[in-house]
Amino acid sequence: MRPAAMSFASAVQQAAPSVVNIYSVTSSRQLANPTDKINDLGSGVIMTSNGHILTNYHVVDNAESILVHLQDGRQFNAEVIGLDKVTDLALLKINANNLPTIPQQPDLEPQVGDIVLAIGNPLNFGQTITQGIVSATGKKGLTPGATYSDFIQMDAAINLGNSGGALVNSQGMLVGINTAASPGTNNGVQGIFFAIPYQLAKRIMNKLLEDGEVKRGYLGLEGEAINQVGQPVRSTIESIAGIRLHYVDPLGPAWRSGLKQGDVLLAVNNKQLVSFAELLEIVEHVEPGQTISLTVSRNNQIIKIDVEVGKLEID
């Protein structure tokens, strides 16, 4: 007897009913021929049984109305609860109850090599499943302000209409929200796709539920990690001496507080820094208007500078 072939049917059966089709509609208001036009096509994930749905910012941005099609055939108009351009996430609400929700595991941490399934509505062909593996985690640079966002890289195909759909593991648990193909896909690069990690997406969802927006702290500076002899750190085994600033925004909070190009940041609120990314992550979670203390090396002297954190604005 041959062994049974590997199947992910159970995972799909658990997750697929909670993945919806999303159509954002704009109106053409020509005097002679006013019509409605489907402007963007995407997918979404039902997160709560009373109708909260996560999708991508780029799917619903500037939409005049949003239609949500459930897998059982029902259709609803959706309300936008909040948008976050930095993570390319949007939270919608439909007026329905007892909806199927995506299986969620709060402490789920995807690992490189995990099998994943992407569920969505590519090219409006109807719900489709693609399969791949997690290729990498912690990827940045895909969205505005993207230093603040980590993404999952995988090779499960994401096509037009898949954006906003679910990335699940082999048990059907939500791993992330599908968001993009690599910008190089049109240049012969294939098999590189990205998703927003579940834990990040859930955190953004909670902030949008609470405030309708995500408030991020901002200092207005750029820098790089340096070693004990003042050279840029190129290896993960090198000791970090601090973060040398190579740009300070003249309109930003750091400049107003007296920070200068060439300063070396050693610590934030007495916590030693190990990377520039860590600095951004710390500041991101500080409420705008609060003050933080920076330990700075300048001209071979150690000084303390207090900075009132500003609010990150994304055009």
Tens digit of each residue's pLDDT (9 = 90 or more) over 47-92 = 999 999 999 999 998 889 999 999 999 999 999 999 999 899 999 9
Tens digit of each residue's pLDDT (9 = 90 or more) over 197-213 = 999 999 999 999 999 99
**125 vs 48 pLDDT, higher one:** 48
Q: CA-based Rg of the chain, rounded to a whole angstrom?
A: 22
At residue 146 the predicted structure's pLDDT band, cuts being 50, 70 and 90, is very low
Q: Which of 107, 113, 108 is nearest to 136 (CA)?
A: 113
114-211 placed in CATH 2.40.10.10: yes
Report the 10 Å Cβ neighbour count for 220. Answer: 20
At residue 228 the predicted structure's pLDDT band, cuts being 50, 70 and 90, is low
CATH H-level superfamily of 15-93:
Trypsin-like serine proteases (2.40.10.10)
The CATH number given to 217-311 is: 2.30.42.10
Q: Which of 86, 38, 33 is nearest to 58 (CA)?
A: 86
Give the mean model confidence (pLDDT) for residues 36-41: 65
pTM of the model: 0.80
Provide the pLDDT for residue 285. 86
Give the mean model confidence (pLDDT) for residues 143-159: 72
Tens digit of each residue's pLDDT (9 = 90 or more) over 83-116 = 999 899 999 999 999 999 999 998 898 999 999 9
- Where along the chain do its domains lie? 15-93, 114-211, 217-311
Provide the pLDDT for residue 182. 55
Q: Residues 49, 18: contact at Cβ < 8 Å?
A: no
Catalytic positions: 58, 88, 163
The chain-wide mean pLDDT, for the chain, equals 85
Tens digit of each residue's pLDDT (9 = 90 or more) over 262-272 = 999 999 999 98
Asked whether the domain spanning 217-311 has the same topology as the one spanning 114-211, the reply is no
